Amino acid sequence: MIQNIQINGVHAEVDNDLHKYVIKKIGGLDKYIPRKSRESVHADVKLKESKAKDKKNHTCEVILRVPHETITTKETTLNIYAAVDIVEAKLKNQLKKYKEKHASPKLRFRLAGKLRRQQK
């Protein structure tokens, strides 16, 4: 679980249910971060509400600070919970790429050797 999560509401009130939901979704992304980097990860979650004439739009923006990079994802939908879900999916993909890029090269060689042995 990502320990350093800061949740801010801009023109929106963040109630207890929404707070727990964001913690559950964004906090669970730590399995996609290399183990040695998990302690230094910091997430800023900004939940915005914009009122147009006919409808309300909700925006969820997550700024994830990991070692050597900053990953930013933003989504706007009619439902704030849906925006959080979509941002979580986008962050998963970006963190998978980050983990492949920053994982230990020894691990890659071990996995490649294991795959070669299984194919024989």
Position 17 pLDDT exceeds 90? yes
- Is the distance from CB of 113 to CB of 51 less than 8 angstroms? no
Give pLDDT tens digits for 30-78.
Answer: 999 988 889 999 999 999 999 888 889 999 999 999 998 999 999 999 9
- Residue 113: per-residue pLDDT: 81
pLDDT score recorded for residue 25: 96
Phi-psi region of 35 (alpha: psi -120 to 50; beta: other; left: phi over 0): alpha
What pLDDT shows up at residue 63?
A: 98
Domains of the chain with bracketed CATH = 4-119 (3.30.160.100)
- How many other C-beta atoms are found inside a 10 Å radius of the C-beta of residue 87? 22
Check whether 13 has a pLDDT greater than 80.
yes
pLDDT tens sequence across 83-114: 999 999 999 999 999 988 887 777 777 778 88
